[in-house]
Amino acid sequence: EKLLPILKSAAHSGTEVLDRWKVSFSATGEDGKALTPETKIMCNYWSLGYDAKVAYQFHIMRETHRALFSSRVVNKAWYALFGAQNVIGATDVSKILKVVVDGREVPIPSDVRAVTIINIPSYSGGANLWGTEATSAPFTKPRTDDGMLEVVGCKGPIHSLGMMMGVRRAHRLAQG
């Protein structure tokens, strides 16, 4: 992809308001004791599950073997390879994660292998996890400046591939 057309497009694009979030995470250690909670600033998305593992594998490989990452196409091939390695054996995140939105616990289906908190309609190279079809109660159409985050679940790499192709969407779990 050529840089000049991208820069020209950016120069002529509009401005969009974007919420910034302070998100807190807490965990329990192997001994059952609470670990020190962490707080992070988030603008785009945060995920826990097989997709975070794939992103971590990609990051480590790119940091240790930079010459193997020469283009966006090659990068996507690496992502596909790491995703394929995670088709079988991904963890049921409902067993290791509790999500609380606006003071209430959000049930996570047992077939979900990744939970993602999103604030923008673009994830992992452009996938719209929430989807574009009409939003029905209790949800409203997401915006980047609505003061809300969306929580979605993904079944695994094949489900993700469908989302990246624009033919599937993630499971809508919560909004708040």
- pLDDT (tens digit per residue) in 55-97: 999 999 999 999 999 998 999 899 889 988 877 878 889 998 8
Q: Predicted confidence band at 160 (pLDDT cuts at 50, 70, 90)?
A: confident
Residue 28 has pLDDT above 90, yes or no: no
Q: Predicted confidence band at 161 (pLDDT cuts at 50, 70, 90)?
A: confident
Determine the pLDDT at residue 175: 94
Catalogue the E-assigned strands of 7-113: 21-25, 38-42, 45-49, 99-101, 104-106
Determine the pLDDT at residue 74: 93
Determine the pLDDT at residue 69: 93
For the chain, which residues make up each domain, given as ranges?
A: 43-175
Residue 39 has pLDDT above 80, yes or no: yes
Cis previous bond, 5, omega within 30: no
Mean local confidence (pLDDT), 141-148: 91
Residue 148 has pLDDT above 90, yes or no: yes
The DSSP letter of residue 93 is G
Rounded-to-integer distance, Cα 55 and Cα 75, Å: 11
Q: Predicted confidence band at 172 (pLDDT cuts at 50, 70, 90)?
A: very high
Mean local confidence (pLDDT), 16-27: 86
Rounded-to-integer distance, Cα 65 and Cα 40, Å: 29
